[in-house]
Structure 1
């Protein structure tokens, strides 16, 4: 009798592979951190807050955000032991946990804010993930979510030309039919409208939607990519700020 690995087991193996990228661009991290810092206010004035970086990867994003969040307690969470080993060199606290299955090893309403950066596009069950994030956030707590934009300005042009959009993947083994070389395990993609509706349906109030550039855009096109951030539905990366209702 033969057995086959389940999709969850395949994905665990994929993300435990040290060759798989677990960090994204610093520009997105800085913009997202500034949004959260503005929402929380200075720790000296409003008190220290607990911020969970769920899906922290190697800790690069948390380390980039830390200068904007001085005085607050930043905790990294990831399911990849390899990623956590690297994260612990960059953030003071990092714990292993997952959003689905048994859930996070954290008590209910323990956090004031959650950074959820470039994670939701990798998930089999994003509904369960937002339910778990809502559980660990206190009422009124902040969710700072970022994800690639399916309707980014260049993806609209690529689709018109019959080319697979950037960020989308049809295989975990190789890139087929679109620009780029790295396979990073994207399972789901969102437009600005879809992301707003999805987060609101999960029990959050959307406060703001902003855009960020993508570090993988070819250098000659980067000025145009930065300009597109002024209109989030066209931006490369969607930055969404929501509050738990």
Structure 2
């Protein structure tokens, strides 16, 4: 299995072009060889959840911020389901923003640090936070900043890989490093897959609920989504696992700013 996310994944090679030791984490994520697109199944499921929460644009145009938009592929996939609403791609990487401009009408540079987003307090109606939180050194600070820019009652749509996915439970029983987890940013060690994904932390469904609630949000719903990197013969089983989010490949969480 491999993992491709909004902001990460680099194919592991003998001579990695960017490592934290040489260039810092920014160098790793700025590497132009690093894919920054995400799976469409997750993007569509997440967009459907958000569209249901926002309602049609005829009832009022809403501002949706796609935090860590990468090259804009995920937001562009979601756009038809959010027709009429204003989607703004946000990322700190100028390189991926150049690519995102070919897919999105609005892109802005910003950082998920204290006051690092160029948006007014309570100015956004929704935030898409797709497979970003697992890459952050300071996820607490990131959610605080998202909480600041969302209006009261605004929607947070967060997705992240599930540490307790059904196959990870089996791998751990066999003494194998779980999929999505990382012991090095230079090469894959001891787990399935061939790509270095750059994950710094992973969540179970229970931990994600608790973390988001402690950050000032009311958790509305948690759903599961399939992972495009699952081997083809196992994909029907992966889709079935979505019915029970605690064992699904990906976690899709909808929360409201309290």
TM-score range, shorter chain: over 0.9
Contact 1:116 1:145 in 2 (8 A): yes
1:20 aligns with: 34
2:209 aligns with: 196
If asked which structure has higher relative contact order (CA below 8 Å, sep 6+), I would say 2
Alpha-carbon distance, 1:21 to partner = 2.0
Query: Within 5 Å, which residues of 2 pair with 1:217-236?
Result: 217-236=230-249
Alpha-carbon distance, 1:101 to partner = 5.6
Unaligned runs of at least 5 residues, structure 1 = none
TM-score, with structure 2 as normaliser: 0.91
Distance 1:140 1:146 in 2: 19
Unaligned runs of at least 5 residues, structure 2 = 1-18
Partner residue of 1:141 out of 148, 151, 154: 154
- What is the number of equivalent residue pairs in this alignment? 240
2:169 aligns with: 156
Deviations 1:125-184 (A, max 9, x none): 000000000000000000000000000000000000000000000111111000001112
Alpha-carbon distance, 1:206 to partner = 0.1
* Partner-residue secondary structure (3-state), 1:75: strand
Contact 1:21 1:184 in 2 (8 A): no
RMSD: 1.4
Contact 1:141 1:243 in 2 (8 A): yes
Partner residue of 2:51 out of 23, 37, 42: 37
Contact 2:20 2:27 in 1 (8 A): no
Distance 1:6 1:164 in 2: 22
Distance 1:21 1:131 in 2: 28
* Partner-residue secondary structure (3-state), 2:239: helix
1:72 aligns with 2:85: yes
1:54 aligns with: 67
1:11 aligns with 2:25: yes
* Partner-residue secondary structure (3-state), 1:14: helix
